[in-house]
Structure 1
């Protein structure tokens, strides 16, 4: 089976940003393939075909991408949305736990990108849209491993974009701020908690719960994903929500010392 409609492959599409992006891309005219680690438990979505995928597995990635190509004959857009959160002081996180976060958030992006690039280059076009975060370009205390993974995605994406642009392929970033999803509940908690950080960690958990509760609707992020997928002259970065745009501007124009002080105040850290 082949299709004349553009095909979008969205990882982590069973809920949250991935679900909203899948529905928005379908409404924009795409054939959409969403992925989940266990599609047997996914509620069907109109206009979205689901396939099983574990982005931490080379074999699973290769199989899922080949399934899409075999069924539709093309992949025009890859949305690397699958990810996992991580909370706790950096010292409280073991190297093994940090590696597990990177295996999904960073190496999952790399696996998926490597799997689709040969096909996109052969077709002479395509877009890889990587879901970053506001903490992909600013620090976030008590989320050091997660922030590091999103900083890595930013550096990887911008570098690869330069490599593949001459082949008609773009690698783009969508940067959400805090979004009203199950992010907090699905975050990995520190595997070796230390009493010295307990009080500040609790303060951070309260801050994060409020930020997610009052965060942007996933549809806000989905609109930017559709823009990245369809703009005739795409931007490297798409700020999803007013907060991301403001923080980008502040990071650029506010003196470093003042930005640092404001960050500590926001996170209720000692001066």
Structure 2
């Protein structure tokens, strides 16, 4: 089955930001295939066709991409959205727990990218949009592993974009701020909690809940993804929502010491 519409593949599309992105791309004129670990209950909803996909599995990624290519003949846009958050002090997470987070947030992106790039290079066009975060360019106390994964995606994407541009492919970043998705409820909790961090961890948990509740609507991220997917001359980075744009500007123009003090103040950290 072929379509004259651009073919978009969106990971982690069953809820939250991914669902908003998938629906937004449908409205923007794309044929959208959304993925999730278990999508049988979704089938086709609001114009989005769903596939089961586990981004931590080489076999699952290869099978899903092959199915899209068999059905549609091409992939014009890949949105790497699937991810997990974490909370707690860095010392409270075992190496195994951090590795599991990176397997989704970083290596999942690598798996998906490696799977679609041969097809995009062959057709001499395509865009890969990676969902990063404002914590991909700033500190996130008590979310260190998550921030590290997003910092990794920033470096990976910017470097890869230079490698594939001559083949007609662009790799772009969307950087949301706090988004009202309830992600904090599904964050990985420390698997080796320590009493020394308990008090400040509780403060951080409260601040995260408040920030998410007051966060941008996921539609803001969808709009940024659509811009990245359709701009004739795309930018490397797209902030999503007014807060993210403000933070990005402050990170660039505020002196390092002043920015450091503000991070500690906002996170209610002593010293």
- Counterpart-to-counterpart distance in 2, 1:47 and 1:60: 23
Aligned length in residues: 271
> Counterpart of 1:74?
74
User: Unpaired runs of 5+ in structure 1?
Assistant: none
CA distance in 1, matches of 2:179, 2:15: 12
1:46 Cα deviation from its structure 2 partner = 1.4
Hey, what's the Cα distance between the residues in 2 that align with 1:202 and 1:68?
Answer: 44
Shift of 1:44: 4.2
TM-score (norm 1): 0.99
Would you say the 8 A contact 1:84–1:188 is kept in 2? Answer: yes
Q: Cα RMSD between the aligned structures? A: 0.8
Q: Is the Cα–Cα contact under 8 Å of residues 23 and 45 in structure 1 kept in the other structure?
A: no
What does the per-residue CA deviation read over 1:29-76, in whole Å, with 9 as the maximum and x for residues that have no partner?
A: 100000010012337421100000000000000000000010011100
Runs of 4+ that moved beyond 4 A = none
Tell me the TM-score normalized by structure 2.
0.99
CA deviations over 1:128-160 (Å, ceiling 9, x no partner): 000000100000000000000000000000000
Secondary structure at the counterpart of residue 45 of structure 2: coil
Equivalence for 1:89: 89
Query: 1:148 aligns to what?
Result: 148
* CA deviation map 1:151-208 (0-9, x unaligned): 0000000000000000000000000000000210111000000000000000000000
Cα displacement (A) at 1:252: 1.1
2:43/2:50 contact within 8 Å kept: no
Which stretch shifts more, 91-100 or 34-43?
A: 34-43
Matched, 1:47 2:47: yes
Gaps of 5+ in 2: none
What secondary structure, in the 3-state scheme, does the structure 2 residue paired with 1:171 have? Answer: strand
Q: Secondary structure at the match of 2:160?
A: helix
Residue of structure 2 in register with 1:171 after alignment: 171
Q: In the TM superposition, what are the counterparts of 1:3-152 in structure 2 within 5 Å?
A: 3-42=3-42, 44-152=44-152
Paired residue secondary structure (1:259): helix
Q: Separation in 1 of the partners of 2:32 and 2:204? A: 37
Offset of residue 5 of structure 1: 1.3
- Corresponding residue for residue 217 of structure 1: 217
